[in-house]
Amino acid sequence: MQIADNSVVSFHYTLTDDQGQTIDSSEGREPLTYMHGTGQIVPGLEKVMTGRVAGDQFKVDVAPEEGYGVHYPELVQELPREAFQGVQDIQPGMQFQGQGPQGVINVTVTKVDGSTVHIDGNHPLAGQTLHFDIEVTEVRAATAEEISHGHVHGAGGHHH
């Protein structure tokens, strides 16, 4: 069966950056499973998955525009420590939710400098080309229940 909308797809992957460093991998774990055509993986990867079959192995480079987006400098800001009421020990890497022009935004603390907290509202992989090494392990038609819910259910059906 070829991958198409409403297919349930399982695949192993290794994601690397431009320097060849592994960012994420399914190695040693279960394959990633998703429903094709529902936006559950980055658009550039979903496009190249279309038409593939179980057993296919391939590499693909996904540009930022089709991955986690371009890096927006305006999402990098400095805030006074007082903006983090109730948080005693602010450290780089901590994540918070804030209010942006389009609603809720997730931000990551990148640096704490005295009374100033540096934050970045970009996805950590924004602006990066994503290099995927893929092995499709299974393709099946989604069940009617999965299609109506918009996501894959585990073995035996509905598990939420």
Give percent above pLDDT 90 in the chain.
84
Domain count, the chain: 2
140 and 63 fall within a common domain: yes
Q: How far apart are the first and last CA of the chain?
A: 28
**At 149, which helix (H) or strand (E)?**
helix 144-149
115 and 130 fall within a common domain: no
Distance CA 58, CA 136 (A): 9
Domain for residue 137, yes or no? Answer: yes
Distance CA 120, CA 73 (A): 9
Confidence of residue 154 (pLDDT cuts 50, 70, 90): confident
Residue type, position 120, single letter: D
**pTM, full prediction:** 0.82
Which residues form the domain of 99? 73-120
How is 25-93 classified by DSSP, letter by letter? E-TTSPPEEEETTSS-S-HHHHHHHTT--TT-EEEEEE-GGGTT----GGGEEEEEGGGSTT-S---TT
Q: What is the pLDDT of residues 80-127, one digit of tens each?
A: 999 998 898 999 999 998 777 778 889 999 999 999 999 999 999 999
Confidence of residue 155 (pLDDT cuts 50, 70, 90): low
